[in-house]
Structure 1
Amino acid sequence: MGLAKTYKDGTTPTICIIGAGFSGMCAAIRLQTQLDLKTYTIFELQPELGGTWWSNTYPGCGSDTTSVNYQFSFEMNYEWSKTYAGYQEIWEYQRRVAKKYNLYEKIRFRTEITHAEWHEDLQQWVLDWTDHNTGETGQMNADIVFCGMGALRIPNIPKQFDDFEGPKWHTAQWNHEYDLTNKRVAVVGSVPAIVDKVKKLEFYQRSSTYIMPRKNANISAFWKFLFRHIPFVHFLYYKLTYWGTEFTIQTFSTKWRHAIPRRFAMFLAWCFRFWQIRGKKLRANLTPDYILGCRRLVVSSDYYPALVRKHVSVHTKAITGVKGQTLTLSDGSQQEVDVLLLATGFHVQDTLGEGVVIGRNKSDLAKVWVQGPKTYYGITFAETPNMFFLLGPNTALGHNSVLYMIETACEHAIMAIAHMMERDLSSIQATPKACKDFVDEVEEKMKGMAWSSDCNSWYKNKRGTITALWWSSCTHYWWRLRKFKPQHFTGVQRSKAPTTHV
């Protein structure tokens, strides 16, 4: 049997989608193509769609996942120019897909959802929004909400740099109006693509990292022709790339049976570092003191070459003082610079502000989240009926394309909505037991993974619990969610729900 596409009385739910990045786009497209639903509105804070790939435009920005895997499986692109696409090409792909499915007609740009609260009596979410173009505010009642806000959206800007008096910005807020040519530039983190422009580059290493080589080859017109006109060629290339990447999950396992792939990866990283960095002191400073995989691997072939340039200084001491345009380190040394660039990451663990999402029994999701999010496969909370997260807790990856995870979670949410309409339910929510069982399993499985070792990373919350990553392969995640399991959910019949509206 196919998926139910309407309630028994022929009506359909009203749906709110928060965010117009890959997650929000996937939700909108699958609602259209699988349920014939167009009763949705997308709210996007930025003036354009794209999410991460609209906001991040710093030099050299691009995907560290191969292009063929970094696309929707239902909307293949045969025209990628390189093995690893840059941000501009990814964003253009998103725009083409959005235009094909008429998503622009459904998006309210520069409009922020400031508050979302579940009303049990209405069996609906009531969402407050603000239009930042006009200042107008309003409310929307939605039967279902998709949260596709993403984790890499709120820049982490350390307070210690507030006193810097020169030009400064985070990589996610790149100032394209400022010319870095012949400037003395300080970078906290890494932006190797600017090395040829600047007069002097002061590189402040937050922590050493494992670097894997990346051969970003051009994809020739011949291969593009084959991909487009001989579908099996592209299908084979896609599958070989996907499965080749899938098997690298073993690299992050600390179990003895995975020792060979893990040791091989460490050896490859060592060889690459030894080959690229000839100076013993610099090589020692760039050698990680934690096990491979504890923090995110960096796939780059221009990182090391940038650091050995004569006009680049690598600093490993902590920055202890900022005054005017001078940075002081813990060893007493000082560097005066013209510009400060912050590649200091994002607020991953606290993407929701307090009071923004209020679920059942007035539970504040931000407070629930900070204690350790108990979700059903990262898709929904027991406290949030009819709300589905895409790329939610414990669904990010350290080895493969997150778009596969987004699609899998979206497919499961679609099945849940179809189940609601088939059973004539006004709401559906995961049971506390199903959520607890999932989180307990994740915590147990993470004990055998490198991410749980003794180092700090954005994968962990303040308690040291891994809340960002899925512990296994993408295929395993899909296998778990390939069927909707009603026994893990409870619902409310529409006939028993109040009929009043606000």
Structure 2
Amino acid sequence: MPFFSSNKRQLRVAVIGTGFSGICAAIKLEQQLGIKAQIFELNKDMAGTWYANRYPGAECDIPSHLYSFSFEQNPSWTKHYSSQPEIYAYLQGVARKYGLYERTKFETEVVRAEWNEQQHQWFLEWRNVHDHEQTGSGYFDAVMSGLGGLRIPNVPKEFQSFSGPIVHTTFWDNKLDYANKKIAVIGSGASAIQAVPELQKIAKHVYSYQRTPAWVSVRDQYTYSRTWKFILRWIPFVLRFYRILIYIKHELFFVNFKYQKFLGEYVKKKFVAGMSARLTAAGRPDLIPAVVPDYPVGCKRITKSEIYLEALAASNVTVIRSGVDEIKGQTLIDKDGNETEVDILILATGFHVDDVSGNLKIYGRNGVFLKDLWEYEKKSYKSVTIHGFPNYFTLLGPSSGLGHNSIVTIIEIQVDYAVQCIKRLIKKDLAAIEPKKEAQEKFVADVQKGFEGTVWKGGCKSWYMNKNGEIYSLWSGSITSFYFALRKPIFNDFIEYKRTKNTTLTNGK
């Protein structure tokens, strides 16, 4: 039964973002607390990163039946690994089912969130993304931030001098003609691995610049038959059991990440053999030294593709391991002095994971600016709450990233945790709640200790790390351990602010 009734205080909650995090938060708030949150979305439609990332070949590297909400399982996925259009359509359908479109301000950017100590509320300011003169503001009792880590594209300054068309994979230009063009692709992460094979099919030549190659495994991709989809739809137990099996399979792979000392070399040999065999079969064993990594498997995110290595072996693809040193017009000069003239420059350079807030300025108690606070150490308590920022719940923030399983499961656990905290506000008639500093420090220390001996300490550089080489983006355990860590809030670890007669609360404007 939902936790609300007519005699209980109704809180006003803002949800920022409509990716998996924001959609889940809005649904759970209404289901469990009766709160119809005000939702803000930067784009003109739902789905977050799955709305924005439309480059050719964009797909998920987690199986469809696991990369979806546990409370909205979809028996009709067409493939084991879904493409961007299908995930986008799924999230649209979930949002429509729960009536989220009606209370979402689309093409609206929240630019300021400031904690008002007197009112014990968050004051939010927002603006239209096309016309900054169209603004709005309002007060909210709590904020659930679903900004996500893969939000602000990384566009390195050294590439901005290129005189031809520049396309970041997150801002794919479908109007541009890529056929029979010489194309340079910068990067070797997931987006490059998915885009390069599609570009190779139509381009005159593709130049793949990759300073650090990626570990690539073959996906067990296949299309679901009509019979299997019929079974999943009409026998719900099978659908749930199938999801559990996929979850267990991925969860077991964490053993390699955790016990790198004992399993690392064995796993690495298997990956080296697999990638070498594929390149040899494609007639390009000479690419093995350039394309097969030497760092531990999992130190950077493992990518999945059955066609990427084969595309690199094609006659119209050149792999360049030397980074770009200089750009003159449309000519790229690498660090070895080699010059390559191209028609189009594609940046598969990822995101600014250390600065997911973008234009949003977040100020907590005593005017503390979150961006400054997190510049060197991104600390949180249980990955959801932050000392000094009452009633602010961040989703997919510090200590919540993964390298082996579905991030959607992490999101659901975080949302359930945040909802329990908001329920506490209502039940105890509190003005605000925030974690104690000592509780936050202990949590961070425990997570950091958990990285000892893991693959992430294997010596490579990745987006998991900050500029000092410290890992604050990832959870150092399995999803199962994450669930037990957040299953039930320990309210002794929180500062609870009582409501007083002097506390002025407002519904905002």
1:50 aligned onto 2:47: yes
Distance in 1, matches of 2:447 and 2:118, equals 34
Unpaired runs of at least 5, structure 1: none
Say whether 1:127 aligns with 2:124: yes
- Report deviation, 1:500: 5.9
Show the counterpart of 2:341: 336
Q: Within 5 A, what are the aligned runs for 1:100-119?
A: 100-119=97-116
1:133 is displaced (CA, Å) by: 4.3
Q: Does 1:218 align with 2:210?
A: no
Which whole-Å CA distance do the structure 1 matches of 2:300 and 2:226 have between them?
37
* Aligned ranges 1:386-401 → 2 under 5 Å: 386-401=391-406
Aligned residue in 1 for 2:295: 290
The 5-angstrom pairing of residues 430-469 of structure 1 reads 430-469=435-474
Q: Which residue of 1 aligns with 2:141?
A: 143
Report if aligned partners of 1:393, 1:468 keep a CA contact under 8 Å in 2: yes
Aligned residue pair count: 496
Partner amino acid, structure 2, of 1:19: G
Aligned counterparts of 1:496 and 1:226: Cα–Cα separation in 2: 59
The share of aligned pairs that are identical, in percent, is 38
Q: Distance in 2 between matches of 1:164 and 1:63?
A: 31
For 1:182-193, what aligned pairs fall within 5 Å after superposition? 182-189=180-187, 190=192, 191-192=195-196, 193=198
- How far off its partner does 1:353 sit? 4.7
Aligned residue for 2:326, secondary structure, equals strand
For the residue of structure 1 that corresponds to 2:201, the secondary structure is coil
Q: Structure 2 CA distance, aligned partners of 1:96 and 1:58? A: 22
Aligned partner of 2:269: which letter? F
Counterpart among 84, 94, 109 of residue 97 in structure 1: 94
Change (3 A) 1:403 1:47: same
Quote the Cα distance in structure 1 between the aligned partners of 2:495 and 2:445.
20
Instruction: Return the letter of the residue paired with 1:164.
Output: F
Preserved CA contact (<8 Å) 1:188 1:206: no
SS class of match (2:293): coil
Amino acid at match of 1:180: Y
Q: Deviations over 1:24-66 (max 9, x none)?
A: 000000011111221x211111111110100000011111001
- What residue in structure 2 maps to residue 265 of structure 1? 267
Aligned to 2:373: 368
Deviation at 1:329, TM superposition (A): 1.2
**What is the alpha-carbon distance in structure 2 between the residues aligned to residue 306 and residue 247 of structure 1?**
30
Q: Structure 2 CA distance, aligned partners of 1:89 and 1:30? A: 23
- Deviation, 1:254, is 3.9
Indicate the residue corresponding to 1:235 in structure 2.
Answer: 240
For the structure 1 residues 391 and 500, does the alpha-carbon distance in structure 2 shift closer, same or farther, using more than 3 Å as the test?
closer
Give the direction of change, closer, same or farther, for the CA distance of 1:337–1:353 in structure 2 (3 Å limit): closer
CA distance in 2, matches of 1:352, 1:129: 14
Aligned AA for 2:249?
G
Q: Distance in 1 between matches of 2:13 and 2:33?
A: 12
Q: C-alpha offsets along residues 84-114 of structure 1, whole Å, 9 cap, x if unaligned?
A: 0000000000000000001000100011110
Which deviations, in whole Å up to 9, do the C-alpha atoms of 1:140-159 show, x marking residues without a partner? 10000000011111111111
**How far is 1:4 from its partner?**
4.0
Match of 2:413 among 404, 408, 412: 408
1:406 aligns to what SS in structure 2?
helix
**1:268 to partner: Cα distance:** 2.8
2:70 aligned partner: 73
Corresponding residue of 2:152: 154
User: Paired residue for 1:276?
Assistant: 278
The amino acid that maps onto 1:51 is: G
Q: What are the Cα deviations for residues 377-425 of structure 1, in whole angstroms up to 9, with x where unaligned?
A: 1101011100101111110100000000000000011111111111110
**Conserved 8 A contact 1:381-1:430:** yes
Counterpart of 2:257 (choices 242, 252, 256) is: 252
The counterpart of 2:500, out of the listed 472, 495, 502, is 495
d(CA) in 2 for partners of 1:4 and 1:235? 26
* SS of match in other structure, 2:59: coil
**How many angstroms apart in 2 are the aligned matches of 1:462 and 1:337?**
32
Q: By how many angstroms is 1:498 displaced?
A: 1.5
Q: Is the 8 A contact 2:152 2:355 kept in 1?
A: no
Instruction: Give RMSD over aligned pairs.
Output: 1.6
Say whether the 8 Å CA contact 2:27–2:98 is kept in structure 1.
yes
Taking a change above 3 Å as real, the CA distance of residues 353 and 340 of structure 1, as seen in their structure-2 partners, is: closer
Contact 1:354 1:365 survives alignment (8 Å): no
CA–CA distance in structure 2, aligned partners of residues 141 and 85 of structure 1: 39
Q: For 2:219 and 2:352, locate their aligned partners in 1 and report how far apart those are by CA, in whole Å.
A: 27
2:201 corresponding residue in structure 1: 196
Shift of 1:330: 1.6
Is the contact made by 2:3 and 2:32 (CA closer than 8 Å) also made in structure 1? Answer: no
Assess if the C-alpha contact under 8 Å between 1:81 and 1:218 holds in 2. Answer: yes
Q: Return the letter of the residue paired with 1:105.
A: E
- Counterparts of 1:31-50 in structure 2, within 5 Å, are 31-38=29-36, 40-50=37-47
The one of 431, 434, 447 equivalent to 1:426 is 431
Q: Is the 8 A contact 2:391 2:432 kept in 1?
A: yes
**Structure-2 residue corresponding to 1:5:** 4
Q: 2:321 aligns with which of 316, 319, 325?
A: 316
Task: Tell me the SS of whatever aligns to 1:196.
Answer: helix
- Aligned to 1:115, what secondary structure does the other structure show? strand
Q: 2: CA distance between counterparts of 1:132 and 1:255?
A: 46
Letter in 2 for 1:275: A
